[in-house]
Structure 1
Amino acid sequence: MRDVSRRSFVRAGGLAVVGALAGCSSGASGDEPTDTPAGDIVVGPGGAYVYDPEEYTVSVGETVTWSFASPRHNVSCVPEDNRRVSLPDDAEPFASYEDGSPGQTLSQGATYEHTFETPGEYTYVCVPHSRQGMVGTVVVE
């Protein structure tokens, strides 16, 4: 039986993982959005302060799901909680946190859903990271 060093064991394992993942590439360039299920917006992919896609279009009555790819983010479309937020007249504000707790965030792997009943443009933010530009838009047609 041959002795295997920890380094060669880790290297072999890493190569196996790379080989297994090679067929999973979407083939998308850096300018194209990442593959996400229909209706989903990814929150903080790779730990970045972004929503992916940054703008998303839906129909009236459609439910959008935000999937949290990294921790310590939230979704806020409550104008009183952030000056960058806007929503159509007669639309109800929404947020992934409890009323009055704009600093509350969700953990990695969590999801948040909202059904859009009023047409128009909704600009929402991650309250803790809005200064870093974590802003998204849902257009409801």
Structure 2
Amino acid sequence: MNRRAFLAGVAGSASAALAGCTGILNTGSDAPDGDIGMGSVSFNPKEFEVEVGETVVWVNTDMRNHSVTAYEAGIPEGAEYFASGGFESEQAARDAWRNGNGTINPNTTYEHTFEVPGEYAYFCIPHESGGMSGTIVVTE
């Protein structure tokens, strides 16, 4: 069984149990496929491990708009910066969000391929103060 199929099954079971209290919009069979879900103020799972060269897909299953934005100081040296909207810096992503750009709308995805091993810290711009952050661990 591949990890996305496994995660979809786990997420579907958990979502059914929690749908009334988490603000989940859509985790049914027509929901986009993904590795990391977005709740009201959380990434699920909060930490995710992949190997060099793998692509991570975040899916917004919440009713609110979110972002995936790397902390510039929280990525390995030599790694490509990533942010929904394709921005080249954390400040550019923050500035763009204020203008309505970089949004991951409900039932849409964002993906990034990780080429450098290490830990990558990221967050959601509008929900950062609520603790919406996560870590991608990239191994050889």
Normalised-by-shorter TM-score class: 0.5 to 0.7
> Partners of 2:33 and 2:137 in 1: how far apart?
15
**Considering only CA atoms, is the larger Rg found in Structure 1 or Structure 2?**
1
In the alignment, structure 1 residue 63 sits paired with structure 2 residue 47 = no
Match of 2:36 in 1: 41
Q: TM-score, normalised by structure 2?
A: 0.65
The one-character-per-residue Cα deviations of 1:47-105 (angstroms, maximum 9, x if unpaired) are x20000000000000000000112310000152xxxxx610010011011242343132
**How far off its partner does 1:25 sit?**
4.0
Percent of residue pairs identical: 44
Structure 1 length normalisation: TM-score? 0.65
Gaps in structure 2 of 5+ consecutive residues: 1-11, 19-26
Shift of 1:120: 0.1
Q: How does 1:94-113 map to 2 (within 5 A)?
A: 94-99=82-87, 100-102=92-94, 103=97, 104=101, 105-113=103-111
| Structure 1 unaligned blocks of 5 or more | 1-23, 80-84
Say whether 1:73 aligns with 2:66: yes
Contact persistence 1:42–1:68 (CA under 8 A): yes
Question: Which protein is richer in helix relative to its size?
Answer: 2
Give the letter for the 1:96 counterpart. S
Pick one of 67, 71, 77 that aligns with 1:89. Answer: 77
Q: Which residue of 2 is the match for residue 129 of structure 1?
A: 127
